Structure 1
């Protein structure tokens, strides 16, 4: 009993909450056995009090003979022996120090590591301290899948620190926004309308493709993706692809840039006059029909117009009655106007004009009789009688006295 009392008296100098220095005696069975310096009292340091990673190997954190600074948690007395030990923690001491370091650091940017996806956001670690980033504060767009941040190290801004409530809130979104703002300013200082720049396809939508210019996403509208009509963005570009685009318009205040991909690629009308000329007979495919005619693709990206009057020698009320979309036709080129991007075509020019009844007009309709105009009298030359020719002034005025 006297020895036990002496043992209790020897540990009176160690109390829960104390920060002490201890030497590692042994490491086995997932825990480290220590002796607290200056007391002769032993302590136990478990893996749980070393790291949040429960699958880690304790031997990677502590080794026999190593000296550690730890936080005393509570006293433990053995059930079968009179041994008195203390449960200590290195992790919680580091957390306490981290809390102390956070005082007054709101709005400061620090580096954290994503540890676990939790309800409503992401759990992160900063110098042994657990923090939380709400999903709405992870990125400029709401993040539904926070798993992709687990294991990553990134910068975040400290928003709230409350050690008493164990509350540590951060925001990654603000850091991303600040970086993006600086990048936008740099991009806008370099680009100008009419310039050709290189960017990376960031994402595709039904109305076009967004191109990352290095901090600013410019839009290539679907009409500016290709010289072809009615194309799908995914049929022209792929996400991650590097492309050269021409700047069409800049709105720095709104952070918008309009781009064109087709303006940087040769158009189908470039050099068309060397490929197509009036009088040529070519094969084509009907692309679309209108009330006034049919558009036929005669070269890739070049549609010529077969006017309704050039479809057939017979009268055509509607192009749909004679042609259909996708139909292959042979046409004759009537005119090529590269400046106006216009080609005039004819189908009937390649067909033999049918024999027509004399009473029928060009459209196969019978001519209507018109009222006969009065017959004009023909002009005739009349000769004057001889008595009215060869007279003189004397003959006319001979009887007048002067």
Structure 2
């Protein structure tokens, strides 16, 4: 259990104790410092928002800009010039630019388009489970949770199969970097490699288009000139990066919590109609996107009585907001039968104009992943019942996920050897 003797320091430094269980710290901050000034390792004053109503309002507040590189030089100093080339996309922009970029790709992620992918995603799930070893420990993250979304998003973009492992390795380096000299240099190399890869892929698709999203974006660019080459490359990176890590960690978190709370897993098995609500409850209870990406104040403003000066960085703790007892009854309890409509209330996919474009796909992949896993292996167990989960160690609370998830997959009518 994380102590709350110095909650602001714990949240700012992302200590190992905080990474294991950040929720007591968030609870303390919600009660005593709901808009908390921090000095994280990157050295820039940041305001952390932890209550639900404040978080929801901040996510759609036009005074909190997402155009980090265009408006705040300090952000460039944190993450380096190499990251700018990959961040010229809708995630890091405000309307009207954000509106233009999002419109170009939104048609690929409508619920109807995503639902049409169901048979293909199910096939990918089945193929990956076919390749998983049984009756012996296997890391479910590396064998299943990570490959599933990377295969799907890379196929949507038209990334060749032989390139996917390298693309995933580069993106992992970008996501898990620290603020030290060596970490920044590794991040810069990975970002340059990803930029060059997508630039080459765009050039290839322009000469040899195929039935994929990247070819469609190139066609839209060539048709009306609304997408620059740099925006095209950055958009491809964003879709790949956001389209696999968040879902992979969500799937891992989901399996872990269902295995460690067997009553909830039993309820889903007995009533498959609960699977959709279960995914929403998992997003609320322990979502894979712990905090929204940084925003900065374009003017002096006040939130919950705290003055936020112009130019300040603002971070919105989504997982804290989703555990706010002011919004959810018994928020620290995982309940797949939670009354109400958590899918329309939780902030796991954000809120406002930056609401996650890939939410329908993430939901589909998680639902089919859980259905396939527990349908194929009804007696999935942790490889070690005393296992302590190793949560990601990141320089600020962006992702919430496991580094590994060792389980034993037991086919039906067989007893587990562990």
Q: State the TM-score, normalized to the length of structure 1.
A: 0.18
Structure (1/2) with the larger helix percentage: 2
- With CA pairs under 8 Å and 6+ residues apart, which has the higher RCO, 1 or 2? 2
Structure (1/2) with the larger strand percentage: 1
Q: State the TM-score, normalized to the length of structure 2.
A: 0.18
Larger radius of gyration: 1
